[in-house]
Structure formats: C-alpha cells, structure tokens
Structure 1
Amino acid sequence: MNAQKRHEIFSRLRDHNPTPTTELHWQTPFELLTAVLLSAQATDVGVNKATARLFPVANTPQGILDLGLEGLKDKIKTIGLYNSKADNLMKTCHLLLERHGGEVPNTREALEALPGVGRKTANVILNTAFGQPTMAVDTHIFRVANRTRIAPGKNVLEVEQKLMRHVPREFLHDAHHWLILHGRYTCVARKPRCGSCVIEDLCEYKDKTELA
C-alpha cells in the first residue's frame, strides 16, 4: 500500500461522508466520556437508549454522584456489564471532582488515570471532544486496516502507530470515524460488502466478495 493509494482511499471516504462523527449521543465532554465508558461490549444503539434515560436526570459528575450507585445502575441496567461500568463511572466522577474541578481533562495521561479509561477510550475523547488527531483503534478499525493493507499490524497499538504514521495529515482528524463506520457497515466481519464499497478497487484484500 503506497502513499498515493492511501490518499485516494481517504479522499473517497471523505467525499462519501464529509463530516463523520461518533454515533454515540452526547452534548458535553462528560456526556461523551460517560457514553464511551458504557460502550464496552455494547452497541451504540444500546448505549444511546441508556443515556437517554440517564442524562436528563444526571449528566455531570456531581449529578451522577447524587444519583447514587443503585440509582445509576437502575438507569443503565439494560447494558451489559452494567455493575462494573457503574462502579467505574462513580469512581471516575469522584476523581473528576477531586482533581479536575468536575471537568474532563484533555490530556492522555490524565484521562488514562481515570477508572475504566484505557488508551482507546482516551483517544476517542481527545479526538471527538477536543479535536486532537488521535486514532482510537477498535475491532472495526483493526479489521479494516489489516484487510485493506492501509496499516497492517498484529495488535491494536501497532495498527494505531502505523495509521498515525501513514494517514495523510489532512485526513487524520476524521480518519478513525471513517474507518469505524466503514468497518461497521461495509467491511463487516463475516462477509464484507465489497460490491458496494467505494474503495474496492484500491483495497488489497485478497478474498473480496461481490456482496452489495
């Protein structure tokens, strides 16, 4: 995969979707952080249903703490692993108030110090809430990067580092959204829909299908 081909791939993805963003519903950095914390092993649709119940009554760190652990669990109980997610969110709210004046920090180090926040979650927050050029590699991006050969790697960190190195700078801010959406709806896990793919002729995947 050469630089010219990568540039054309991201040009087409941008033409197809000029303003990509997360499918999670959020209005503030704290709402985004909450939604991402709840999204592990859950669909965005499921998370949005839960936050539609949660955010009208508690959408700040203090609001979550005032709700209490059992009250929080009741709002998010439709999501898998809700017990541990509720625990982490409560601990995170305490730390946000103690260390950051109730605001979501905009540095990787501070974000990754929060309970339940790993590198991928930090990258989502830094990119989507604060506009930083980061690459949050999930299973979709890992699959697309390897299949297309845009940035093949044996693990998510290797793929992230290669994407940060090889994605043309003009596309870097939005690249992870394009790749996630492409993996979610077109380059799906079992049978990629190559027949309706806007980058099919540029992709270097050997086992292409004709499915639209």
Structure 2
Amino acid sequence: MAGRLAAVGVVLAMLPAANAAAFSPPPTLGKGGCYDPTQSNADFEAYGPTDVNVQAGDNHVTVNENTGGTITVFKYPNPSLYNQIKYFTVSRDQRGRAHTRFPNEGSFAGIRWRTRKGANGFAWLRSWRATQGWDSSDLPVPVTRYRSPRKLGLSVTVFDLAPPGTDTFVREIWVRRARRSPVRRAWLTYFANFNPVADHMPFLPIDDWCAPGSDQRASYDRGAHAIASSWTGT
C-alpha cells in the first residue's frame, strides 16, 4: 500500500474580548525566579535561558520556536509588547538544552495512532527526532520535520507562518505514512499554554510571561472542536 499524505491546519488567532478582569500579581524575583541578577551569567540570561531557534511573524504576531518546534514566545500586537504564552526556562543541561519549570510550557503538537492489529499509541512530536529549517530563504516560514521510530513508519512536517497583514499564526501539519507502516488511522492532538495579557506594569518586562495572573477568558467551541482564548485590557 502506498504511503498517504494528510494535512491539518492549526490556526491561532488573536481575538480581543468584550470584558475581562485584569489581574497582575508581582512576578517572582531572585534565585529560581523569572529575574535573577545574582547568577553568574546574569549579563545575558538573567531572565532564564533563551530557547529560540527560528521565528515567524508579520509585525503583528511574532512567534519564536525551539529546535523541537515548541512555541516558546508568542508576541502580540507587535514584537515589542506582550508575550501571550507561558514558557519559563530555568536551566541548561551539559548539552546546552534549555529546561522549563513545568513540562506543559509553550505550545506543541502530538499524534495518536491505531495499527492494523488494533494497538493504540500516542507521542508528542517533540519527543521524536526532529530537523528544522526554512521553506524559503526569502520568507519567515519555519519548517520542522519529525520522524517516528522506524517500526512505526510515520513522518510529520510542520509549516509555520503568520499571514501578512493579519493577527493570525498558522501551523500547517502534514503526516506521511511509509509503505510498510502498521498505522491505519491517526489523529492530531494540539496543546497550547496560552496566557493572554493586555495589562502590564511600566518598565517591568517580565510581568506578561512570568506573573501567574491573566486577562483572558477561554471557552470551548464545540462545532470547531477548539478552545477560544480572548481578553481585554489597557
């Protein structure tokens, strides 16, 4: 049986809400906090290790990703303002890889499958071997390719872009099944640790991504099988 290609689009749109109560408690400072000026490398990583390898954006939405395709920064309404996603790194290992405070930091995709024998499986794509590059040398469109363990016979390609002139970020996901793959059905799972904010303390650049508060409201759209996050503020 020949391999098949399937495409799934994930659209993350920024939608201002009508009403919401702002809540911005002070962020944590010092050792183990979001800002630690006492650490030895505070001159360039006082806010925690930087975990960015590629970027997509259109001057409205700016998205940074690490080498595993996890979204680590989601800036809106312009690159200089609020980070709308939670991603807090606390350390690096001996190989230079950044580690987060919690395993559910950022935004990333997973895949569930069923084999011809009825066996079910699941994996977050970032746990598979990944390579990352660009769709074109002229465009800010990162492409991340994942390969499953050989016996599973799956590969996934993720194209990321912010369509010019919009407040939207799109992830287009293609799944390919090898000729001898035992997989007969597959489903995409997507996770996003969004924390929409619209209020901040002047001259305190960690208030948006560090503080536990949020200006958001979230609701489930049953027809679209999606969670819609919205917010309001000043």
Comparing both structures, which one devotes a greater share of its residues to strand? 2
What is the TM-score when the length of structure 2 is the normalising length?
Answer: 0.27
| Structure showing greater relative contact order (alpha-carbon pairs closer than 8 Å, 6 or more residues apart) | 2
What is the TM-score when the length of structure 1 is the normalising length?
Answer: 0.29
Comparing both structures, which one devotes a greater share of its residues to helix? 1
